Structure 1
Amino acid sequence: MEPSLRIVPSSAPKSASIQDTANSFGLHDTLRYGPRSLATEAHTTSTIKDRLENWEATRDNLKLTTLRNIYGLHAPVRLLMERKLVGHNPHMPALPVTNVHLDVLMGRDETLECADFMMPSSELAQPLDIHADMEKKLKM
């Protein structure tokens, strides 16, 4: 956990180098890899994609940093320990699992997603063979 008060995920540093396409002299090998331009290599990553991928982590980091600043270091440590304990869930593998406790600790208890109310038909069609699932679990 890096103490940061960012609301929006930071953009990844854009860098361009010729290490992947360099020959023995340290120059770009145009005959093998074709012409290159540093401008196109620097803009290959999408900023929207990066923001969406890091949105949950940044929001969680902001929440933990705020807890640390208000209540002290014990609050985020306790919350992270509770998440780890609740996340470890040895259960019957044949039954579908929903971890309501982890949703409450992560702050997702008041949100609805498609997976919450729309069950795919493939899960309902699977036979519940508890003995085979328990054997798989013991082999792991």
Structure 2
Amino acid sequence: MSFGLPSVKVKPENVCNIQPQEGPFGVPNPMIAGIGSNKPQIAVSHPLEISERNYHLNMEKMNMAMLRNTQGLHAPLKLSMEMKFANKIGRLPFLPSSNLQSDVLTGRYLDIGFEDILNTRDLCEVAGQPHAVVERSLGIL
């Protein structure tokens, strides 16, 4: 009896062993390919890396399945509609968005992560001129 819940067991999605381009001595040339260019081509370094990358998506799927099984089809539909509307809220490109409404709907406002500490506006080096940023987003520049 599965109740339609997604599996909690970690399953690798894309496991492929692609060899990076090697130079004349059998090692990749960082002057041509760059230092970090081979990371996406190499398989994951740890089995939990894919699971951690998709943690919030997996939790959302499990919560939606649990809502559907306990309250019926209307609860996940209503919540997904509210999430869609919360993600559609737009601001001017130079104004930062806190995404508070979507964080409240998903429950992420209770979590403190790296993005809350290391990704603040105070540490941002690129502010940009408001008129130039808007004109670039509209395709005028």
Q: Give TM class, smaller chain.
A: 0.5 to 0.7
Q: 1:134 to 1:15 in 2, by over 3 A?
A: closer
Q: Within the alignment, does 1:69 sit opposite 2:69 as a pair?
A: yes
CA distance in 2, matches of 1:105, 1:56: 13
1:57 — aligned with what? Answer: 57
In structure 2, the gaps of 5 or more residues are 17-42
2:99 — aligned with what? Answer: 99
Query: TM-score, with normalisation over the residues of structure 2?
Result: 0.63
For residues 60-97 of structure 1, what are the alpha-carbon distances to aligned partners after superposition, in whole Å with 9 as ceiling and x for unaligned? 11100110011111111111111111111321211221
Q: 1:134 to 1:57 in 2, by over 3 A?
A: same
Letter of the structure 1 residue corresponding to residue 61 of structure 2: N
For residues 33-77 of structure 1, what are the alpha-carbon distances to aligned partners after superposition, in whole Å with 9 as ceiling and x for unaligned? xxxxxxxxxxx6643223222322221111001100111111111
1:36 — aligned with what? Answer: none
Query: TM-score, with normalisation over the residues of structure 1?
Result: 0.63
- Name segments (4+ residues, structure 1) moved above 3 Å: 12-16, 125-128
Aligned CA-pair RMSD: 3.1
CA distance in 1, matches of 2:128, 2:63: 40
How far the C-alpha of 1:133 sits from its partner, in A, is 1.5
CA distance in 2, matches of 1:98, 1:7: 32
Aligned residues: 111
Q: 1:73 to 1:51 in 2, by over 3 A?
A: same
Matched residues, percent identical?
A: 26
